[in-house]
Amino acid sequence: MCEDTAPPTGDASREPGARPRRAAVRRHMVEQPLAGTRVVELGGGIGGGAASKSFADFGADVIAVEPPGGGELRRQPPFPGDRPHPDHGAFHLAFATGKRSLVLDLDTPSGREVLTRLFRTAELVLGELPPAEVPRLRALIDPRSGPATVWLTPHGLDGPYASRREVDLSLMAWSTRMQRQGLPGREPLRRGPQAALVQAGHTAGAIGLAAWRARRREGLRQDVDVACVEAVLGNVDTAFVNWAFTGVERLYARPAPGQAPVTGTFRCGDGYVILGLTEPWGARLCRFLGTAAPGEAGYDWPETARRLHDYLASHTKRETFDELQAAGVMCAPVLDVSEILEDPQALARGSFATVEQPGVGAVHVAGAPFRLGGVGSEEDAGWRARPSPRLGEHTDEILEELGYTTGERQALARAGVAAGA
């Protein structure tokens, strides 16, 4: 574990202003797997932010090109003290870790000239933009030697719906997932906030890494069109393939009276647990409770459910989790976000990182999404969450890197094309 992935160590570390625990200095010497790569993220959105996050955390130089005033990622609540601030929102603090911020007005020829120079230094462009803006920006890229490109849009770059506006909720409406979360007679339900948009962004990041690799190794420049609707609908957890196979739409899946649910949500002594009741887990639960298992003489789900109810009433969710898993039953506690920070597995693995964020203080963010070399290995330290940038924090330094003179940088700032922090 490196400095930035030190786990919470109890209440002290969670006080505002608490310092993250320091680990050995040698961790900082570990080469990050994507070091030396430049990625340009365009649009300032949540999907693009999700797409490029892991590039930055694994060492790439990710430059977020943001519109004046910042994009949706910086406007998304929550904020500390409920006071909106472009540098303090939870989505920005989580998804912009380690990126550099360049504020550019791409509606001007001057802004596009800067972008043209930036593209020449990049290996990958991840853009979340309205489709109408893509051709103009794509034209700035050298089709042979330029960076690989991934464009993330609601419906893709062409087709009759290409210009439609969608947000997370309407993407979910397109997903065929909503009815299964709802109750008969009431409106269907989304997943958690921004789940579909983040999933689509995550998909764009994954294919972006493949496109980057193909360019670097094979000299193949790929141009990728990720439609949020297709990225969500084409993955698993869709009703569509099931329907194509069977002609039956899966809606409002509820168990018939007297029958066990596939997965059930149950109240226990101090909250809720979920139990998987398909086989082999259903039979193991019956054995644990001393009732006949499915397929055996005397199997009676209502009787098993009564005994389960009695058992759960006298056990906490943690006790239930430990005891039923020991009996081989697929079971888990329903945890809230304060509890996940204290979860024994998360603590043991260092699943959360502490970032010292200027203007905010020490904040926990989710740690590495996977552990290169295994938890705590030297390679695992190749993932690092660094603070998220202030809006325009790196504008001047990046313009200088791109060869703009002091006078030119001042002129760009004065014209409102490039804005510093």
Residues 30-89 that bind another protein (CB under 8 A): 31, 33-34, 50, 53-54, 58, 76-82, 88-89
Whichever of 251 and 411 has its CB closer to another protein, that residue is: 251
Three-state secondary structure readout of 217-284: HHCCCCEEEEEHHHHHHCCCCCCHHHHHHHCCCCCCCCCCCCCCCCEEEEEECCEEEEEECCCCHHHH
Whichever of 240 and 415 has its CB closer to another protein, that residue is: 240
| Letter string b/e over residues 75-104, b meaning 16 or more CB atoms within 10 A of that residue's CB | bbeebbeeeeebbbbebbbbbbbbbbbbbb
- Should residue 91 be labelled a site residue for another protein when binding is judged by CB under 8 A? yes
- Should residue 304 be labelled a site residue for another protein when binding is judged by CB under 8 A? no
- Closest approach of Cβ 284 to another protein, in Å? 10
Would you mind telling me the total number of residues written for the chain in this entry? 421
Q: Which stretch binds another protein (CB under 8 A): 117-125, 220-228, 298-306, 400-408?
A: 220-228
- Should residue 327 be labelled a site residue for another protein when binding is judged by CB under 8 A? no
- Return the half-sphere exposure (C-beta side, CA atoms, 13 A cut-off) of residue 350: 24
The residue type found at 401 is: E
Name the residue with tokens 């943001």. 66
Site string for another protein, 354-373 (x = CB under 8 A): ------x--xxxxxxxxxxx
Whichever of 114 and 232 has its CB closer to another protein, that residue is: 232
Q: Which stretch binds another protein (CB under 8 A): 101-109, 326-334, 395-403, 411-419?
A: 326-334
DSSP, res 421: -
Whichever of 297 and 336 has its CB closer to another protein, that residue is: 336
Rounded Cα gap, residues 228 and 263, in angstroms: 29
- Should residue 338 be labelled a site residue for another protein when binding is judged by CB under 8 A? yes
The residue type found at 56 is: A
Indicate the burial class of 296 (C-beta count within 10 angstroms; 0-12, 13-18, 19 or more). Answer: exposed
Cβ-contact 44, 73 below 8 angstroms: yes
Which of residues 258, 336, 407, 414 is near another protein by CB under 8 A? Answer: 336
- Should residue 289 be labelled a site residue for another protein when binding is judged by CB under 8 A? no
Nearest to 268 by CA among 324, 308, 302: 308
Rounded Cα gap, residues 105 and 112, in angstroms: 8
- Should residue 23 be labelled a site residue for another protein when binding is judged by CB under 8 A? no
Which of residues 39, 114, 134, 207 is near another protein by CB under 8 A? Answer: 207
How distant is the alpha carbon of residue 300 from its chain centre? 42
Nearest to 355 by CA among 93, 1, 36: 93
- Should residue 415 be labelled a site residue for another protein when binding is judged by CB under 8 A? no
Rounded Cα gap, residues 1 and 414, in angstroms: 45
Structural tokens at position 76:
């998304």
Window 168-187: residues binding another protein (CB under 8 A): 169-174, 176-181, 183, 186-187
Which of residues 105, 379, 401, 408 is near another protein by CB under 8 A? Answer: 379
Which of residues 18, 23, 293, 335 is near another protein by CB under 8 A? Answer: 335
> How many residues sit in the footprint of another protein (CB under 8 A)?
147
Name the region of 83 (left: φ>0; alpha: ψ -120 to 50; beta: rest): beta
- Closest approach of Cβ 32 to another protein, in Å? 9
Cβ-contact 152, 209 below 8 angstroms: no
Whichever of 111 and 156 has its CB closer to another protein, that residue is: 156
Which of residues 23, 167, 292, 411 is near another protein by CB under 8 A? Answer: 167
DSSP lists the bridge partners of residue 276 as: 263
Site string for another protein, 239-258 (x = CB under 8 A): xxxxxxxx-xxxx-x-----
Site string for another protein, 101-140 (x = CB under 8 A): ----------------------------------------
DSSP lists the bridge partners of residue 361 as: 357
Window 269-288: residues binding another protein (CB under 8 A): 272-274, 276, 281
Which of residues 24, 132, 139, 189 is near another protein by CB under 8 A? Answer: 189
- Closest approach of Cβ 61 to another protein, in Å? 15
Which of residues 224, 292, 293, 411 is near another protein by CB under 8 A? Answer: 224
Whichever of 97 and 291 has its CB closer to another protein, that residue is: 97
